[in-house]
Structure 1
Amino acid sequence: MIEVAKQEESNSASLQGVIYVRFKEQAYEQEVIRMLSLFYPHMQVKVLESSAIEKTADQDVMVHVNIKSSPDTIYAIVSVETLAAVKGVDRSRPLYQCKSRLLILPEHATDVQIRRATKRAMVYALHEALAAFTGTSQPWGILTGVRPGKLVHDLLLHKPQAPTWSEVVHQLQSNYRIDAVRSQLLTDIAKRELMVVPDLYSLKQREVSIYIGIPFCPTHCAYCTFPAYSMVDKARYAEGFLDAMMREIEMVGRLLREYKVPVTTVYIGGGTPTSLKAKELSELLESVVTEIPGHKAWREFCVEAGRADTITKDRVDVLKTYGVDRVSVNPQTFRAQTLKLIGRGHSPDIVDKRFHLFREASFQNINMDLILGLPGESLSDVQYSLERTLQLEPDAITVHTLSFKRASEVTDHRDAYAVAKDSEVYDMMDHVARQMKVANYVPYYLYRQKDILANLENVGYSLPGKEGIYNMITIEEMQTIIGIGGGASSKWVMPDGTITQQQNASEPSAYIAHMEQMLEKKERALHRVLSAIQSFGHLS
């Protein structure tokens, strides 16, 4: 049993105070705390170590969680009531009791399968009880992961009993308590992914993609935790860093040729790749198209230009020369005061000019990023930024919701940044979705982040035919992504679907210093992954 005593008022998301939690078994402590925090984001959660509950008031709340199991089933029961009701002082608020769905365990269930089922049953019942008690629910129901779209693909892969699209929507709502809007959104995105990449489910058995990380930026944005070192660091490290990275590129290319494994997409991100000077950028791209096999056959070659203050005509010309066919120019917002506050080094008007540099160079797939909920911004600010973005007629628009990432400036000094209330962020996202539909942009990929405002999501929209293939593949974890460069993470997706990761050093000097050990470790991993793909027998 889990007991929770909540100080202060009961069921408003704006309440201040403390939620006290007592566990009989603490195996799912973090899941309980996270769900409580979603419903009461401004309450402090403390775990009681002793049997006694601290000083309480009648308006405090008690939550009881019971797990019921048999050798082949498991379910949870959660009840919520005020202490006033428990004491018989006030029965005006009823006892809220919710039972999870009965989950059938597979025959000879492993400990891992039992733990997962137990957690799912507990979180389901907890969500339902809190939703009934507070009068609100979470847009993503019981889900906390970053890749909710994988649920849809898992359902579709259960052939020959794969559900219809309408059945998928129903199962998302029923089994995971995802709201109707987001259940339909996930389903629409899965349809789009399979339309754009018809062989999505077999890519892990035949091909890989490449991610190349450039860990330099003009300035460090307040919300960002990506590997990004200053231009001063770049000047000190660039030459040695590029030399080291080209060794990594050469090693990867050599093994891809040895095993005859094709490349689906190549994505260069960071940091900001266009922090490199035109000459440095040219040297990098020359290495990429020379060493990584099949340049002309890649389905997509994308560079995250990102920061408008790094985009110049000579850099644009270099990208065009080496066949880059998709770029991002990311305003994040068109409000000058917000750009200054978050540490972006450009004015809104520069974004327009830099965007047109790419159009004048005949780039036909340009993405632009916007962030909802930036400090100090309201719905009218988002409306203005979206209007300015749509005037440029980009091929794709990626809409992020601000996330309080660990170690970011915004998170470390959260009290210093005034951000929108959840209801305001909902209005922002709803406005964007409506305007995207009017402008004929369709959603094509989605992901979530921990501690994201209003417990919402990030959505990529594009004009039909302009989707970012790399984004879909990597978010759904449908194939191996070989990470090259500073802070790059390799995700090894085996033909049988098992996934492991390997991280490169982020700091440029550490990346250079540990190159030999990293190459040796990565080469061993690549032999294992590429030989498994080759032996699967589906190479052309």
Structure 2
Amino acid sequence: MKININLNNMAYRYDVYQMFNIYYLMDDIVFNKPENNEDKIYHISICDNSIDIKGPKINTEYYYDKIIGYNNFIKKSLFMYLKEETGQEHPWGTLIGIRPSKIAYDLMKKGFSENDVIEHFSKVYVASEEKARLCMEVARNEATFINEDENCISIYIGMPFCPTRCAYCSFASNPIGSSKKLVEPYLNALIKEINAISDYIDKRGLRIETVYFGGGTPTSISNEEFYSLMNIIHNRFIEGRNIREFTVECGRPDSITIHKLRTMKEFNVDRISINPQTMNDETLRVIGRGHKAQLVKDIFKEARSLGFDNINMDIIVGLQGEGLEEINYTCKEIKKLSPDSVTVHGLSIKRASKIHENIVLNKRYYVPEQKELLEMYSTTKVLSEELEMIPYYMYRQKNMLGNMENIGYTIKGKECIYNIEMIEEKQTIIALGADAISKVVFLEENRIERFGNLKDVLQYTERIETLIEKKIELLDTLYNKL
């Protein structure tokens, strides 16, 4: 279906689009196009003190509330109108692509009471009391880990290869089978970057709090390549530095071998991820994974037998063809394994993903109704409670089915400190590898400067010297002041 919006002031196009996208995620939203009988047509007139909305079912005028500010007024008015027209419930209200726990954390630091925070979320964002309380719980759980010492940093290392590319993926994740010629040059460039940044850290006397090796899939390379790279990471970032956490996001079970698990134990990895996303074999096939759920169980048990006592597992809600029955089964199977943390992701329809391509080409794609999606998320919350886990970090993305949240649950004491630092943005994170984005945090100025490495693997390897130079220039702008 095409949603045709006649808007009088295109300065507000982005805000209007985002509110309609909550309710009409899978539809084509256009502005000021010639009207067609098959279109769903809305007329929106934004004035200094009001907004007038006329649609297929109802016409409503809202008047400016100066307490919440003009942009929030526009979004709130549209959200309330569409809620009435569609009858859909979206508990996050107008919050889009924002770190909501960060809002709660900042309000609580200013002395806001719980009731004040709940009222703020409701009045400004039309968010439910349940979501406001979730934000406060996450913020309280994060508070003891947030490190605002500018001389303390975290390291992210990216591996832009995977066994295959999943249908929902938009990251730098080149299928390893067709990219073998790129691996050796990439590893050489990455090692060059590791050495340069390690030297810089030593020169500046910086302290490393956490190291996170992600991707892509870090374990997609060969046993020998993985051992060699892990040895260098350990020597340059781990050994003798008394870091708090070393995570390897193994991810795909079809990339994990006993050799790689033993390598990680040898080099003091204390947290790993083994990510099923779903425990339904048919879904695994549809999304492009070359393994079955049994392999997830086998690898998990091997990791436990080798002494890994901090294992995370990821679940995605809303995968193609999945409804409440499928997510119930996934949760039941994960409960049997009893991981130390579970990260629940809502499916985000990314433009660079195969799923988005299928939608554009009008291929059949089953999307659960909003009520079912909310029940699916509730099922994952029940799983966390049964595993005696607490919510410890969260973030939201645009274009998420159900307009919900990505949330990490953990047994107390097994939190991923890197995840907290990355989301709350109070600590500088130096990111290495293709498509890795460094965030340099200027606490006194309350601002963040970002530097992104090139996404294309070949370009990254060819321009590594320049990328290192530019990254160090940005880091110098902070550390020359200290």
Taking structure 1 as the reference length, what is the TM-score of the superposition? 0.83
Q: Highest Rg: 1 or 2?
A: 1
Residues 342 and 56 from structure 1, CA distance in 2 versus in 1: closer, same or farther, beyond 3 angstroms? Answer: closer
- Checking the alignment, whether the CA contact within 8 Å between 1:98 and 1:128 is kept in structure 2 is no
- Checking the alignment, whether the CA contact within 8 Å between 2:5 and 2:41 is kept in structure 1 is no
Deviation at 1:137, TM superposition (A): 4.6
What per-residue deviation string (whole Å, max 9, x for no partner) do you get for residues 255-307 of structure 1? 11111111111000011001122221222122122222665521110000000
- Checking the alignment, whether the CA contact within 8 Å between 1:206 and 1:261 is kept in structure 2 is yes
Letter of the aligned partner of 2:386 in structure 1?
V
1:144 aligned onto 2:96: yes
Distance in 1 (CA, whole Å) between partners of 2:65 and 2:291 is: 52
Equivalent position to 1:48, from 25, 32, 36: 32
- List gaps (5 residues or longer) in structure 1: 1-15, 69-76, 85-92, 105-116, 536-540
1:494 aligned onto 2:449: no
SS of structure 1 residue aligned to 2:304: helix
Q: Which position in structure 2 is the counterpart of 1:192? A: 141
Pairing of 1:7-156 with structure 2 (within 5 A): 16-23=1-8, 25-41=9-25, 43-48=27-32, 54=35, 62-68=43-49, 77-81=50-54, 96-103=60-67, 117-156=69-108
Q: Which position in structure 2 is the counterpart of 1:7? A: none
Distance in 2 (CA, whole Å) between partners of 1:294 and 1:255 is: 16
What per-residue deviation string (whole Å, max 9, x for no partner) do you get for residues 289-348 of structure 1? 222266552111000000000111110000000000000000111111110110111111
Residues 356 and 100 from structure 1, CA distance in 2 versus in 1: closer, same or farther, beyond 3 angstroms? Answer: farther
- List gaps (5 residues or longer) in structure 2: none
Equivalent position to 1:399, from 344, 348, 352: 344
Deviation at 1:56, TM superposition (A): 7.4
Residues 469 and 335 from structure 1, CA distance in 2 versus in 1: closer, same or farther, beyond 3 angstroms? Answer: same
Equivalent position to 1:375, from 305, 320, 330: 320
Pairing of 1:141-540 with structure 2 (within 5 A): 141-158=93-110, 162-195=111-144, 197=145, 200=146, 202-203=148-149, 205-292=150-237, 295-414=240-359, 415-496=363-444, 497-532=446-481, 535=482
Residues 129 and 241 from structure 1, CA distance in 2 versus in 1: closer, same or farther, beyond 3 angstroms? Answer: same
SS of structure 2 residue aligned to 1:212: strand
Letter of the aligned partner of 1:209 in structure 2?
S
Residues 22 and 347 from structure 1, CA distance in 2 versus in 1: closer, same or farther, beyond 3 angstroms? Answer: same
- Checking the alignment, whether the CA contact within 8 Å between 1:62 and 1:83 is kept in structure 2 is no
Letter of the aligned partner of 1:164 in structure 2?
S
Distance in 1 (CA, whole Å) between partners of 2:41 and 2:354 is: 34
Q: Which position in structure 2 is the counterpart of 1:4? A: none
Distance in 2 (CA, whole Å) between partners of 1:369 and 1:472 is: 16
Letter of the aligned partner of 1:247 in structure 2?
K
Letter of the aligned partner of 1:229 in structure 2?
N
- Checking the alignment, whether the CA contact within 8 Å between 1:261 and 1:530 is kept in structure 2 is no
Letter of the aligned partner of 1:166 in structure 2?
N
- Checking the alignment, whether the CA contact within 8 Å between 1:333 and 1:382 is kept in structure 2 is yes
Distance in 2 (CA, whole Å) between partners of 1:36 and 1:217 is: 35
User: Which shifted more, 166-175 or 384-393?
Assistant: 166-175
How many pairs align?
477
SS of structure 1 residue aligned to 2:219: helix
- Checking the alignment, whether the CA contact within 8 Å between 1:18 and 1:44 is kept in structure 2 is yes
